[in-house]
Structure 1
Amino acid sequence: MPTHIQGVWDLTIVTPIGRVRPVVELGLQDGKLVGTARGAGENLPLRDIVLDGDRLTWKQSVTRPVRLDLTFTVTVEGDTLTGTSKAGRLPASKVTGRRRRSDEAEPA
């Protein structure tokens, strides 16, 4: 079971237009990995979530600030993750994240 990636993750993505800080929630539904991303006023489903050891990949589409199809590739180590987000032919953006503790409130 991929329980080591479940939870709420606060991400930082360093993009050419600045830092983006979405929140990603990962869990299991009927034994399958599922997830959503929240940020910029959007609540988006994650697609094609694959866990291979500590390597996690997923796809998602965003419409703000511009419409993009993103592919994430990250490595999960405990309560942190690092990797990249790629949008088509644009350069890859650095992604870092931290799992939120269950007693931790939503950031303001």
Structure 2
Amino acid sequence: MTVAGNYDCITKTPMGPQKGVLTVVPGEGDTFTGQITGDLGSMDVKNGTVSGNTLTWQMKMTMPMPIDLDCTATIEGDTLTGKVKAGMFGTMELTGTRRV
């Protein structure tokens, strides 16, 4: 099964759960692009790589404050589980389900 698709995600943040839709678009070789869109706007995937069923990427958050995010997620079937490292705010849990 491919990791490509749209995932309804929730990130557990210090501001409470943040909902978003993560779009994963396959690139060349082991790369991917995409974005996450939610209540605080959209962020583009940067430096997305795929290793088996594990995704690794970065994003630049601008709202409510600028911060660099380092993300990793594993996809098992239609379920996504991962972590988002947000600088001084630490690491937050990321979960999601593929949209059918």
Please indicate, yes or no, whether the TM-score normalized by the shorter chain is above 0.5: yes
RMSD, aligned CA: 1.7
**In the alignment, residue 93 of structure 1 is paired with which amino acid?**
M
Match of 1:23 among 9, 21, 24: 21
1:1-108 superposed matches below 5 A: 4-29=2-27, 32-101=31-100
**In the alignment, residue 46 of structure 2 is paired with which amino acid?**
R
Identity of aligned residues (%): 33
8 Å contact 1:84–1:92 — kept in the other structure?
yes
Give the whole-Å Cα distance in 1 for the aligned partners of 2:2 and 2:35. Answer: 17
**Offset, 1:39:** 1.5
Give the whole-Å Cα distance in 1 for the aligned partners of 2:42 and 2:11. Answer: 17
Unaligned runs of 5+ in 1: 102-108
Please identify the structure whose Cα radius of gyration is greater.
1
**Offset, 1:90:** 2.3
Bigger proportion of residues as strand: 2
Which runs of at least 4 in structure 1 moved beyond 4 Å after TM superposition?
Answer: 29-32
Unaligned runs of 5+ in 2: none
